[in-house]
Amino acid sequence: QDQLVESGGGVVQPGGSLRLSCAASGFTFTTFDMHWVRQAPGKGLEWVAVIRYDGTKEYYIDSVKGRFTISRDNSKNTLYLQMNSLRAEDTAVYYCAKDLRNVIGYASDIWGQGTMVTVSS
């Protein structure tokens, strides 16, 4: 069965860095675009980034451009999110999600359990 498992969350000081990982299993990872979505405590969902199935294209929300990098290692079935220059407002649960590969735009059909990132001094 399709499964995503995130790891790498924790507490980091403002200005610090963290790398999240998302291990995929149960589906052909190399053929699906992948997303990161976050949710601040008590708030709604916020899409962060997407990476093309072959790693050749990425898109980001403006607030993380130049600070976060989405990447993937298709040989390891793993998605990453490198987060630099972290700010308090980046505090959230971070979810990785698989794309449906639908002809009508993106859609996230499988989600991980999430990993908490807390940016605090």
Partner 1 sequence: DIQMTQSPSSLSASIGDRVTITCRASQSISSYLNWYQQKPGKAPKFLIYAASSLQSGVPSRFSGSGSETVFTLTISSLQPEDFATYYCQQSYSTPLTFGGGTKVEIK
Contact residues: partner 1, CB under 8 A: 35, 37, 44-47, 50, 59-62, 95, 100, 102, 104-114
Nearer to partner 1 among residue 46 and residue 71 (C-beta): 46
> Least separation, in Å, of the C-beta of 45 and partner 1?
5
Report CA-CA distances (Å) from 86 to 5, 8, 49, 109, 121: 22, 14, 16, 28, 11
Please give the Cα distance from 55 to 115 (Å, whole number): 23
Nearer to partner 1 among residue 35 and residue 72 (C-beta): 35
Three-state DSSP at 11 gives: strand
Q: Which of 60, 38, 63 is nearest to 49 (CA)?
A: 60
> Least separation, in Å, of the C-beta of 49 and partner 1?
9
> Least separation, in Å, of the C-beta of 27 and partner 1?
14
Nearer to partner 1 among residue 43 and residue 76 (C-beta): 43
